[in-house]
Amino acid sequence: MKNKKVNVSLILAISIAIIVFALDLTSKYLVEYFLPNVGDSANFLPGFIGFVVVHNDGAGWNLLSGMPALLIVLTLVILALLITFYALQMKKYRNKTSKLLSIAFAFIVGGCLGNLYDRIFFGYVRDFLNFEFINFPVFNLADTFLTIGVILFVIYFIFFYGREDKKKDIAKEEEKNS
């Protein structure tokens, strides 16, 4: 039974990551289909959010602009570290793999893959979502899922990471005392 739970968590994570990746690429394709030129725009919810086609060759807020190779390498390193951490957590807590960790992991991996795909095949990331009510960089669905994934990851670390170790230590201490 223990392996079944690990497999369910892994299948959940892989499935969500694939869905996030597919949603990101589909949304970018649709926006470029209907708004084919850089700078083209359309209102979605006037005064709140709209679409504007932007090609970003940097990271958020145009950081590391003009350094696509570095951004590709950084993304691959982050993905490798994240996959290693997730695999170690799966191995360590076979029967108690956190769904929160699986979802956070999947959102981050799916988002990273969406932007990595753009950097490799286009040399830039295709952004299109624009908050009209504040001065905020134009972004895409991959960025949205990355942000949500990081927030969930932080919540996991603050409230859940290491909790199983503490439970095991308490159980061992109770065994010694009885």
Given the residues 57, 118, 143, 165, select the one marked as catalytic.
143
Given the residues 24, 127, 165, 169, select the one marked as catalytic.
127
Would you say how long the chain is, in residues?
178
With a CB cutoff of 8 Å and minimum separation 6, the contacts of 11 are none
CA distance 142 to 118: 11
127 classed as catalytic = yes
Angle between helices 99-122 and 2-34 in degrees, nearest 10: 40
CA distance 95 to 85: 17
Give the residue numbers annotated as catalytic, written as ranges: 127, 143
